[in-house]
Every structure is written in C-alpha cells, then in structure tokens.
Amino acid sequence: MHKHTAGFEYEVYESLSQLSPEDASLLVKARAVTESAYAPYSTFYVGAAALLENGEVVTGTNQENASFPAGICAERVALAAVSSLHPDIPIKTMAISYNGNGIPSDHPISPCGVCRQVLTEYEGRIGAPVRLVLGGLKGEIYIIPSASALLPLAFTSDELP
C-alpha cells in the first residue's frame, strides 16, 4: 500500500485593494453582474467574468429553472459564451462572486463539482490554465493558479476510447 496526498497552493488577499488592477477590475465585474442573475428559487446570485487572452471580458450569471436541475451555473454560462463567440481565444482568468439574499457575501466560494469538471475539460481542450479569482462582495479573496487544481483525480478524455 502507498499513501498519496493531493493538494494545491493558492493566494489569499485581505481585500480588493491588494489585487493587481487587472484582477480587481475583473472581480468588480463579477460582483456587478450578480445583479443580472436569474435565481428566483435559491435567491443565490452568482456572477462570473472571464478575461480572455485578447483583453475582452465575457460575463455569465446563474440561470435557474423551475424544472430542477435544468438551471446552469454562472461559470458554465460564461464558458459557453466564450466557447461559442471566441472559440480560439483562451480564458486567462475567471473571477467568480456571489450575492446571497440574506446570506453574508463576505468570503470566497468555489465552483460546484460540475463546474470544476467543465473548467478542467476547458483547460485541457484549450491547452492553458484558467486562473480563478474567488471573492464575495467583500472580505478575503482567493487566487487559484489553475481551475483544475480544484478537481484532483479528475475524469478526463484520457479515460475514454
């Protein structure tokens, strides 16, 4: 028997003022776009802002549906838009924020399991990491160098014939 450890390193910032101007601007966009999320059932509004290698920013918000689980997360909305509109331009960084009705938005949240899988697939397809900037409307901010770090031992296309 052998034991292995899976883990990753990430940066923690106390506030928006400590981020680079590029990362701060992207997180501000993710925070702002939470206002256009459609989340009448959970009242948990999530926004994602993806900075592309060409400098363009594409945003996405969660879109719920009365027929659960037909909704889609903000990260996957942004990824679908990028893949459709800019299929050959990699995402450099994606910022993710949230505004929970009645819940303090004062700490980072990370993508759900499905979004982690989709982000990992995107990184493999495009051949480049996607940095993540995670933060609420205030409080600490995490920067993760590659989305795939959130999904160790991921199921990938390598397992398919």
Q: For residues 57 and 38, give the distance between their C-alpha atoms in angstroms, rounded to a whole number.
A: 20
What pLDDT, on the 0 to 100 scale, is given for residue 71? 93
| Residue 87 banded pLDDT, cuts 50, 70, 90 | very high
* Closest C-alpha to 34, from 99, 131, 106: 99
Task: Find tokens 């910022």 and name the residue.
Answer: 95
Alpha helices in the chain (DSSP H): 21-33, 74-85, 113-126
Four-residue CA torsion sign, 51, 30, 85, 161: positive
pLDDT in tens, 92-151: 999 999 998 788 999 999 999 999 999 999 999 999 999 999 999 999 999 999 999 999
| Bridge partners of residue 11, in order along the sequence | 143
CB 144 within 8 Å of CB 10 = yes
Confidence of residue 153 (pLDDT cuts 50, 70, 90): confident
Q: Which structural domains are found in the chain, ordered by start?
A: 16-152 (3.40.140.10)
What's the pLDDT tens digit per position in 19-56? 999 999 999 999 999 999 999 999 999 999 999 999 99
Q: Is 48 helix (H, G, I), strand (E, B) or coil?
A: strand
Using pLDDT thresholds of 50, 70 and 90, give the confidence band for residue 77. very high
Q: What is the pLDDT of residue 93?
A: 98
Strands 131-135 and 91-100: parallel
pLDDT higher than 90, residue 69: no
Question: pLDDT-derived band of residue 156, with 50, 70 and 90 as boundaries?
Answer: confident
User: Would you state the pLDDT for residue 161?
Assistant: 82
Chain centroid to CA 48: 6
Positions marked active-site: 75
Determine if the peptide bond prior to 69 is cis (ω within 30°). yes
Rounded Cα–Cα distance for residues 109 and 106 (Å):
10
